[in-house]
Structures are given as structure tokens and as C-alpha cells.
């Protein structure tokens, strides 16, 4: 049996779609969880025939409660790898430790520049000429863990948040399936802050 991947998403789920559209990654995606009932990710999962769960933050008011419920679901489904795809919640230390080395995030900037929830807007407002995409392991600090893949996206004169995010998305949709594949194939070694990809 292959790697069992859970994708966690809050938004429209275009990164989830890129994972579902990759013929190597698709069979690994066992579960999609969202903290928003109206997330496009849940619809995309259902359309693809993948189990989809809405976990209601109102039913689990503290972060610890929510994350414990999430851990329970992932354990029940025998999940090996958790992929955050626009999941807009910060995960507790307990959760992060449970999936250490098996928990990926995608961030719409070149970390450590522009961490946080508004990175595309922040890069524009800063007047940066280049931003990009980072795929990284999640550790207990926000937008901080070892970097697996990064790619730059130039900021063009006249860009607004929408046009820039669209070009960032194009890069994300290429990078994320590649990173998930590397991890699922066991080809990723973490040495301190440095991630090394082992040739197949």
C-alpha cells in the first residue's frame, strides 16, 4: 500500500486540485479535511471521490481540542503524511510533534520573507521586486521549518494582489505535487535546517 496523505485546506482548494490532478500523487490522497464548511476543497474532494470531512471549529473551541479531534481523525484513517494547502489555522505543538517530518506547508512568498496570512499583499506593499513560493516542513514556529522547495516569482509593474497571486498559484501548482511526491517516495532527508533530496 502507498503513502496515505491527508490534505488540510480552508479555501478554494486549487492546490488540492493540483495534487488530485497529478497521476502519481492522486492515489495517495486518502482524506481531505477543512475547518470551513464552505471550502471549495471539500467539493473538489467529493468530485474526485476522496473522503472529505468538515471539522467544525465551533464544536472544538480551543486549539488543543480542535487539534486533538483532528489527530484522532488522521489516526483512524492511518494517515502517514499531512499536507497543508491553504489551511489557515496555526497547529498546536502537540499536533506538529505527532507529524514531525511528515507535515508539509505551502507558503506564497520566499520564506523567511513575508511570513503570515497576507504574504502576497505584504510583498507588494513592501515594494519587493521578487517574491515566490516556499514548500517547507512545519515545525513549532509559524512559517519557519526546513525548506524543501522554493521558486521565485517576479513582481511586475502594475501587479495587484490578484494578478500576483495568480502567478504565484501557477508556481504552487507545479511545486507542491513535486514536493509531496519526493516525500512520499522517501527521497527527502532533513539535516538541521537543510533538506536534501536523494536521487532515485
Q: Nearest to residue 35, comparing CAs of 60, 5, 64? A: 60
Sign of the C-alpha dihedral computed for residues 155, 128, 109 and 90 taken in this order: negative
Q: Is the dihedral of CA 97, 98, 100, 103 positive or negative?
A: negative
Q: Contact 66/42 with Cβ under 8 angstroms? A: no
If the CB atoms of residues 72 and 148 are measured against ligand GAR, the closer one turns out to be: 148
Nearer to ligand GAR by C-beta: 139 or 172? 172
Which residue of this chain has its Cβ atom nearest to ligand GAR in the complex?
86
Tell me whether residue 135 or residue 195 sits nearer to ligand GAR (CB atom).
135
Residue 107 known to be catalytic: yes
Count, in order, helices (H) and strands (E) of the chain. Answer: 6, 9
Q: Report in angstroms how near the CB of residue 133 gets to ligand GAR at its nearest.
A: 7
The nearest distance, CB 119 to ligand GAR, in angstroms, is 6
User: Nearer to ligand GAR by C-beta: 13 or 184?
Assistant: 13
Least spacing, CB of residue 117 vs ligand GAR, in Å: 5
User: Sign (positive/negative) of CA torsion 83, 17, 64, 76?
Assistant: negative
Exactly one of 60, 107, 162, 169 is catalytic; name it. 107
Of 36, 26, 35, 33, the C-alpha closest to 2 is 26
Angstrom distances, CA of residue 124 to CA of 108, 129, 131, 157, 161: 12, 8, 9, 10, 7
Q: Which residues contact ligand GAR (rule: CB under 6 A)?
A: 9, 11-15, 85-86, 106-108, 117, 119, 168-169, 172
The distance of closest approach from Cβ of residue 87 to ligand GAR in the complex, given in angstroms and rounded to an integer, is 7
- The residues annotated with a catalytic role in the active site are 107
Amino acid at each position: 500500500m502507498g503513502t496515505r496523505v491527508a490534505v488540510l485546506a480552508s479555501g478554494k482548494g486549487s492546490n488540492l486540485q493540483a495534487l488530485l490532478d497529478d497521476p502519481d500523487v492522486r492515489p495517495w490522497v486518502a482524506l481531505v479535511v477543512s475547518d470551513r464548511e464552505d471550502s471549495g476543497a471539500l467539493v473538489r474532494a467529493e468530485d474526485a471521490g476522496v473522503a472529505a470531512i468538515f471539522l467544525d471549529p465551533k464544536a472544538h473551541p480551543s486549539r488543543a481540542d480542535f487539534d486533538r479531534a483532528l489527530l484522532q481523525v488522521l489516526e483512524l484513517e492511518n494517515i502517514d503524511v499531512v499536507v497543508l494547502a491553504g489551511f489557515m489555522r496555526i497547529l498546536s505543538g502537540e499536533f506538529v510533534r505527532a507529524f514531525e517530518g511528515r507535515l508539509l506547508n505551502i507558503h506564497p512568498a520566499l520564506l523567511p520573507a513575508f511570513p503570515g496570512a497576507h504574504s502576497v499583499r505584504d510583498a507588494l506593499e513592501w515594494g519587493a521586486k521578487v517574491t515566490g513560493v516556499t514548500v517547507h516542513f512545519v515545525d513549532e514556529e509559524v512559517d519557519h521549518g526546513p525548506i524543501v522547495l522554493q521558486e521565485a516569482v517576479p513582481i511586475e509593474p502594475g501587479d495587484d494582489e490578484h494578478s500576483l497571486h495568480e502567478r504565484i498559484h501557477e508556481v504552487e501548482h507545479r511545486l507542491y505535487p513535486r514536493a509531496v511526491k519526493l516525500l512520499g517516495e522517501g527521497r527527502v532527508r532533513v539535516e538541521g535546517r537543510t533538506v536534501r533530496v536523494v536521487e532515485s
